[in-house]
A and B are shown apart, each in its own frame.
Chain A
Amino acid sequence: ETGVTQTPRHLVMGMTNKKSLKCEQHLGHNAMYWYKQSAKKPLELMFVYNFKEQTENNSVPSRFSPECPNSSHLFLHLHTLQPEDSALYLCASSQEGRLGGYRGYTFGSGTRLTVV
């Protein structure tokens, strides 16, 4: 366990479904991130939350909707996804104010999403 927990680990959903990914950290970090990892592509930053406020939306389509109710929880709400959205979605946390901290960013194990 890294201290960042993601659920579910695997998700298969149809293009008309609505689902949510959950990320939880109890490391005392104040910044949380969503990354997308597609096959044969580098990890792509999707969203950044600092102190519960969204500070970055990296040109992500509106079918992905993040929510950060507090500094320990982060959600990614999914609706009307496309097959090309199938990927590993990784959540990470860090302590803002340091250069990613000397231990860097702590990642969860990811949710492997398949859109059918």
Chain B
Amino acid sequence: AQKITQTQPGMFVQEKEAVTLDCTYDTSDQSYGLFWYKQPSSGEMIFLIYQGSYDEQNATEGRYSLNFQKARKSANLVISASQLGDSAMYFCAMSLAGGTSYGKLTFGQGTILTVHP
């Protein structure tokens, strides 16, 4: 079974600085996708970025980039130039390509990010 681990319950960053949120995963499958979601206090899960297991380049979406290290099974999220609106809970998640787990997301425990002015 797959597992996602986020070891940082909470992180603090100064506005305009960069921050890295850690995520490690465990799966024996070769084909999988890794996702990061942002959940503000309103509850909605907002998609941020996606990395496929066969993608050779790290994914980027605006201020978000995913530092994908396949051999270490890590998929850290880097947020550059933090903004006050980035304060939220961040979830790392994984979906497998085949078998009975196909199409379902497994989530980590989440990291609460607080951006200070």
Contacts and interface: CB of A to CB of B under 8 A. Distances in A.
A71 B39 CA distance: 26
Contact of A105 (B43, B47, B52, B108): B47
B90 interface: no
B64 interface: no
23 contacts: A2-B44, A33-B104, A42-B106, A42-B109, A43-B91, A43-B107, A45-B104, A45-B105, A48-B104, A56-B104, A96-B103, A99-B31, A99-B32, A99-B33, A99-B52, A99-B97, A100-B103, A102-B50, A104-B105, A105-B105, A107-B37, A107-B46, A109-B43
Report the contact-size class of chain A (Cβ under 8 Å from the partner): 20 to 34
A112 B103 contact: no
Interface residues of B, number: 26
A106 interface: yes
The 10 closest A-B pairs by CB, nearest first: A107-B45, A110-B43, A43-B107, A109-B44, A100-B95, A99-B33, A104-B47, A42-B107, A104-B35, A42-B109
A66 interface: no
Interface of B is mostly: strand
Contacts of B28: none
Given A50-B103, A104-B35, A99 B95 contact: yes
Given A99-B32, A99-B33, A109-B44, A104 B50 contact: yes
